[in-house]
Amino acid sequence: MEGDAYLGELAAGIIYMLAGARLALLGLRTGQTPERLLGASFMFIGLSGVVYGLAVVEPLRPIWTPLNFIARVAYLPGSVLIAVFTARVFRPNDGWARWILWGVVALVVVGVGSSALHGDWEGFSLSSAGFWLEWVGYTLPFGWAAAEAFKQYLQARRRVSIGLCEPSVCNRMLLWSLFGAFQFTSCLVVVGQYAAFERANVWSSSWDLLYSGVTLSALVVMWIAFFPPKFYVRWINAGVAKPGSAAD
């Protein structure tokens, strides 16, 4: 990524860490595991962004490769915890969900280890089998989260129509699905970024811009999902008529 993209990664990382801290504190107060899982996940994702951003600070340029490796590794627990959250919240009684979790862990561990052993510490080389193992491992959880949340959104929308679900809860399912979809898309964009870098040995500003846009979109829907402004909640709730209101 170019310097501006790294600075954007730094800003996004700070916001993710703030969101993660708020959710983690909420989980500690309520004793709820999902909030703690997401809080920890966002803090790891945020830490990754912050370290990537620090890599372009001039005094730290000599340790650019170690910083990129630390940022790369920090992102992986964040992604794995998204898978843990999805299994815990959406598939608590399904044995196959646990197999997905173990598969994700195995993919990222073997992927990072393999590419590092072959000298690809930054994880930029698409010619490395380790890159693809790691990539599948950190991409799959976001696609899974998007699919499960969208399924729940469709069910919640039917419940809203008969008064059995709050519109804001239904909307949160949609926002979480969008978050997963945007994060999944960002993982796809990474492949284009790295392919362009391998060809020309320079970062493409077009790919960087696309990545920044998708990352920002994920950040916005995540924040609205968990920390919605009051006017937004009023707007969502007002947009759904109460059951029987048409007959009145």
Among 150, 136, 160, which residue's Cα sits nearest to residue 76? 136
Render pLDDT for 179-226 as a digit per residue (tens, 0 to 9).
Answer: 999 999 999 999 998 888 878 777 778 888 898 899 999 999 999 999
Average pLDDT, the chain: 89
Q: What is the DSSP letter of 31?
A: -
The pLDDT assigned to 59 comes to 84
The band of 244, judged by pLDDT with boundaries at 50, 70 and 90, is very low
pLDDT of residue 231 exceeding 80, the answer is: yes
Residues of the chain with pLDDT > 70: what percent? 93
The pLDDT assigned to 247 comes to 40
Helix residue spans in 31-63 (DSSP H):
33-54
pLDDT of residue 129 exceeding 50, the answer is: yes
Q: Which residue is listed with tokens 């196959």?
A: 96
Task: Tell which wins on pLDDT, 2 or 130.
Answer: 130
Report yes or no: 108 and 139 within 8 Å, Cβ to Cβ: no
| Three-state DSSP state, 168 | helix
| Rounded distance between C-alpha atoms, residue 244 and residue 201, angstroms | 63
The band of 125, judged by pLDDT with boundaries at 50, 70 and 90, is confident
Q: For the chain, how big is the Rg over CA atoms in Å?
A: 20
| Rounded distance between C-alpha atoms, residue 77 and residue 167, angstroms | 32
| Rounded distance between C-alpha atoms, residue 188 and residue 193, angstroms | 9
State the average pLDDT over residues 154-169.
87
State the average pLDDT over residues 108-128.
89
Residues of the chain with pLDDT > 90: what percent? 61
The pLDDT assigned to 239 comes to 67
pTM, two decimals, is 0.89
Tell me the one-letter amino acid at 140: L
Strand ranges, E, within the chain: none
pLDDT of residue 21 exceeding 70, the answer is: yes
State the average pLDDT over residues 2-26.
83
Tokens of 71: 């940022």
State the average pLDDT over residues 114-143.
91
Q: Compute φ and ψ for 242, nearest 5 degrees.
A: -70, 145
The pLDDT assigned to 193 comes to 87
How far is CA 184 from each of CA 29, 82, 214, 218, 248, rounded to the nearest angstrom?
Answer: 31, 12, 9, 10, 45
pLDDT of residue 128 exceeding 80, the answer is: yes
Tokens of 35: 């909030």
How far is CA 195 from each of CA 50, 117, 176, 192, 207, rounded to the nearest angstrom?
Answer: 24, 21, 29, 5, 10
Report yes or no: 108 and 79 within 8 Å, Cβ to Cβ: yes
State the average pLDDT over residues 112-131.
88
The pLDDT assigned to 1 comes to 55
Render pLDDT for 55-105 as a digit per residue (tens, 0 to 9).
Answer: 777 788 788 889 989 999 999 999 999 999 999 999 999 999 999 999 999
How far is CA 74 from each of CA 9, 99, 125, 137, rounded to the nearest angstrom?
Answer: 14, 23, 18, 14
